[in-house]
Every structure is written in structure tokens, then in C-alpha cells.
Structure 1
Amino acid sequence: MFDVLIIGSGVMGMSVARNLKHNQLNIGIIDRDIDGMHASYKAGGMLGAQNEFSNDSPTYRLALKSQQYFKHLNEQLLSEVGSDIEYKETGLIKLAYEPKDNDKVIAQYNFLANVNPNVRLLEQQEAHRLTSNNLNIEDIMALYIPNDHQINANKYTKALYKSLEQNNVERIRHTEVTAITKDKGMYKVITNKGDYYAPKVVVAGGAWSHKLLQAQLKERQLTGVKGEVILMEQEDLDLQSTIFMTNGCYLVPKNKNRVLIGATSHFDDYSVGVSQSGVDWLMESATRHIPQLKYARKLKQWSGVRPHIGNEIPIMDEIEKGLFVITGHYRNGILLSPIVGELMSKWIVTDTKPQILNDFTVEGCVLNGSHD
């Protein structure tokens, strides 16, 4: 028997477990595959607390708070387990993909500049400086967000894994959870390899969470969005800042002269692998404004499935006494993981809901949200 069972070992589940260990609890994490090898491990690692938003919202405010955790978290994990998650204060350029998107960039600037005086529209000279003369913005608008930074999501996921291993959190691997029931005041987690018991259970199964909570989360409220990514290498490119285009394509400069190009968005798609059409879209989008990428060498490609909710407001909720769910973070899972881990662990330990989570309920999950 466990004090807390967590279903799913992406960055959300592992962040909750890492915070809970400070309370000397017996914690188990169940994962149907290999720990952390889905959307968390495969993400771009952008900490885009402002890039994703054009108006004020509870998610925007939560994202800003979580963004502030990463510099210290990087230092903590380096000291704790010797892992550098490659926190980089590189800033981010939000770029109109084509001239008709200029209004979107201006609208976002008008919102962000009111709350962050460091946000600014780019002139050509600064665009050249931030991209080593690779970006021409003669007919398109570009917005610079100097404090939207990045980490290496792959290394972050592995560092969380090492942290839990060091703290003796029990890992229950290659185990499929089929149902969660109540049994004599405890939750019984039924799996293909036997049953596990705990008074408190956290469902952090990403895009698959609704399969265990069908009474509370309908399939069309939560769905998977497949994202395809390619990693390129080019010695003389030397991008300094992340570039995020209005069509959803992004370029994230990494160590060793590498650039991560992502991500397609295929809704209701849980398939594995990268399509040729996906690669073509990524390369066409990336090279439209950074033509030098045509000469880069492709190192690898992969895909992941992100959890999406129609109104794009994530869920962090207690749906029955002692039964919690964390899902729907879509493109912001890495960014939100530290603060969600802290807040949810406090809720689990104290049985008191943090006020900041009042807007992230299952009841707030609607059917008619937009995929934009």
C-alpha cells in the first residue's frame, strides 16, 4: 500500500512526486511504458510564458509564476543529481509567418507591452543581431520577448527521474492501469499486473487521462494532439534566440550548433512516428524566414502527443475526495510543471486547495473550445 499513487511519469507526475517526497510519504508512480518517454521527453523546452498569450487569463498568470522557478530549479537539479537541464536566457522572437499575420503580432505586443516594458517590436538591425543576420523582416512584424527562455526538455525529464530515484520513489514500469475503484475507503488501482492501493491517487496520464476518468472527462473534452519535431545541425547558423512563428512552427537553438524545429499539430491523433508531410511542413515553414536551414544536416526526428482541452484551460483538480487529475497543459506542460508540482503536492498533503487553482477545474472544461 502507498500513501500516494501517481499514474503517469511525465514531468507533471514526477514534479508532484518530487515535491511530495519532502513530506516523507510512501509514493509510487505507475507508467505503462518507459518513464518520461512521451510528450515531456520530446518537447521543445520553450518557457514561453508570454509567447503563448495575447490576453490576460489565469493560465497566463500561472505561467508567469512558473517561469520564475526554472533558474533556481536548474541549480537545484545540478546540485542534487548532477544534471544540467541547460537553462538558457536566450529570449524569444514572435514572428508573423506572412504579412497577413502582422495584426496578430501587433495585438500581442499591445497586450504584453502593458505588463512588461521589456517587450518590444523589432527593427531589422536588432533582428539581424539576434539571429546572426539570418532573419529578414522587411514585410513582416516581429516581437521580441527577452525573458521567455528555454531548457532542454529531454535533460529536464531525465533529471527529475534521477531525483526520484535518489529519493527512493517506487517506479512501477510497463504497467497498464485499467481502472480506478473505491475499496473500503481506499482507492484500488487495477492494472494488468495486479492491484495497488492508496488513499490518494493522482491521474497525470497526459492525453490518455480521460480513459481512466470517463465519468468526469469525456473523450471529446480532452484529446491528443500529435506534434512532429526534427533536430538539425549547422555550424555557421548561430541563432541566438528562439523563433516562434504565428503558424505554430518554432526554431529553438540548442547546444552543439543544433536547432530544434517543431511542431506540427494533428488533433485527435495518437499515432507514433513522423510523416513525410510533417517533415515537409516543418522545413518549408522554417526555411521561409531562415533560408540557411536548407543546408543544415538532419540528426533525428520524433513525435509526441500533447493533451489538449477545447478551451485550452488546463485541469488541476480533485474530482473525488483523494482522487486528483492533472492534464490538458498542451504546449505548456514543461513550463507549468514546477508550479503545478508544488501546488498539487501542497493540496494532497494539507487537504486544502490552493486558491490559485480555483480556475482549473473539471467543470471548466467545455466541449466547444477552439483548436486555434
Structure 2
Amino acid sequence: MKAYLLLEDGTLFTGESFGAEGTTVGEVVFNTGMTGYQEVLTDPSYCGQLVAMTYPLIGNYGINRHDMEAMIPHVHAFIVREHADSPHHWQNELPLGAWLQQHGIMGISGIDTRMLTRKLRRHGTMKGRITTADEQIEQMHQQLQQTPLLRDQVARVSTKNLYTIPHYGKRVVMIDYGAKAGLKRELVKRGCEVIVVPHDTTVDEIERLGPDGIFLSNGPGDPKDVPYAIEVVKEVSQRYPTFGVCLGHQLLALAFGGDTEKMQFGHRGCNHPVTDLATKRTVITSQNHGYAVCADSIETTPLVITHLALNDGSVEGLRHQTLPVFSVQYHPEAAPGPHDSAYLFDQFIEMMEFQREQEGLQYAER
């Protein structure tokens, strides 16, 4: 079956449908990862987006239950050059196309993803519309213009109810703005009890949980679309050791007086080099964001820049000058990607331990 991708600048791509039938609208972005398409599909940070993979062959190792970052896919559509409909892998449980159909996600293959990526790099991310309906281009363009992009992605992907991953170590309250499974896994691996709370949890509700530290998760969209979260982050980060990742990093910057801006085409992939300014060490990171912290805005805040992107010089890490608070723009749990940045979770644990020692308290079984 034919499928059509129309960009807001009028460019039309014609390909083949390999997912669900229908119509969807979203922001068209690209990911440069050669592997990890299942993690991309299930990353809540992609909510509301039509994701194009720059690597030409996608689906060759199928879908399995072990590589999920969430229980369901969150992309609104998947765009590839070539779709492998006969995957070969010892963990494969379902072909990519069948899995997309199962979850009502559209897929389009057979289009020039290189041309699409070059266009997005040159002109920035664009609104797009994918459909399997046979429509006139004028009608498609009119409907695309009339359909707004989502602004409530965090509310869509955040947990609706508090839940606990029990352990006998330090108690971490994770505010879920669209948290990936890998983040929880890294904290549990280090002995933490993780209490995951909804995005709109209040400061009082967090305090009643008795946390040793606060984790601000990744998530989709513009951080300024969740102003209530900025106020909560401002309060809790001045009371508890705090670690922010991706959207959590941006919210932390806003909470302390910094600013954020939309990037031209963002960072999405598992091959982004980042330099630690203190050690001069460069690591390869996994990233997925379309907004960034404005470097100039940090000068008048109590924060300092700790990491920079090697490719474009954008802000990739922050630290508070006096409080046990820090954040990174990238995904240190690195799934997919190398494990160069896992040490950041250890730093968070050390911060919580030091804070407890300062208070003269000892950990007890809860």
C-alpha cells in the first residue's frame, strides 16, 4: 500500500506503508543511530514526532521484549529507507512492521531519507503529515496547516500513579516526565529504592515520601510547556541532592534562572561526542532532544557549565556552585550506545551519601 509524507514546505515523499493505516501529524526529526531502533520507538521523549532513521536498513533484528524503554511505542510514525520484513536474530519475537501495526503506529519505507535529512539539517525540523489515504496534495497541505503540534506530551507519557521499585538502599524519588526504563535500571543496580511519581506531583507530596535524592527524568517537548514542573524543581533541588537528565536538565536550568531555546534540528542518535570541561575527557553519548540550555543565560545564575557538545558547542551539563545539584543533557544510561557516562549515577549516589553523613544519619532498612 502506498503511503505519503508531506512536509510543511510542500515537499511530498511517496513510499510504501509497513505499519498501521491511517493519517498522523507530527514534528519530523531524524535519528543517526545505526542500531537501537526499538529503543527509539519506545522512548517517551519521541512522543508527537515522526522519526526518520538515517541508517538505510531498519528492522533486520526484529522486536523483542528485552530492549523496551517503555511498554508501548511513543513515536507517531516511523520513516525508513528500507524496511526488513524478514528479521534474523536469536531474540527476535516479532517483525517491526507487525509490531507497529499491533500498536497502531504508522510506518513509511522506500523514501529518500538522505534527502529528507539534508533538508531538515538545512531548514530545521518541520511539521509533517503521513497518510495512506489517496488525497489531493492541496487537501493534504491544508489539513497539515490546520493541525497543531502537541504541547501536552509530558502529561501523555508520564505515569498516572505513583509506584515503587523496592530496595534497601537510598530512596530516590524520580519525577517522571517520560522516564526511560534504563534510568530506573541504573539506579536499582546501585541499590536504590526508586519511587516513580507523576509529572505534576507537588513538593509536599514529594517531601512526605522522605527522599534521599531527587531524579529529574527525560521527557518530550518544550520545557516551557510545563511551568508547574519548573516551580517544583526549584523547591526540591534546594532541599535534596538532585540529578537531572535531558528534559530534567533543561527544567533545572530554568528553575535557577537560566533559559532554553529550540535547536534547528536537535541531537538524536547514539554517537554524539561530549567534553567534560573539568577533565577534558570526551565521551560518546546517546541523545534525544530538540531544545537546549542557552549558554549566555547561565552566567547570571548559581549554575556553572560542566559539559559541552563537541560538534556545536551547546550546553550538555550543569552543576550548582554550592548545592548538591547537577544535570546532563544526554542519556547516561546509554541504551543504545556506549557506557562512558554511567559514572554519573555513581556521583549521584555519592552526593546522597555525603548529604546523609552531614546530617548525622545512617541508612536503615525501610
TM-score range, shorter chain: under 0.3
Decide which structure has greater helix share.
Answer: 1
Normalising by structure 2, report the TM-score.
0.26
Greater RCO (CA < 8 Å, at least 6 residues apart): 1
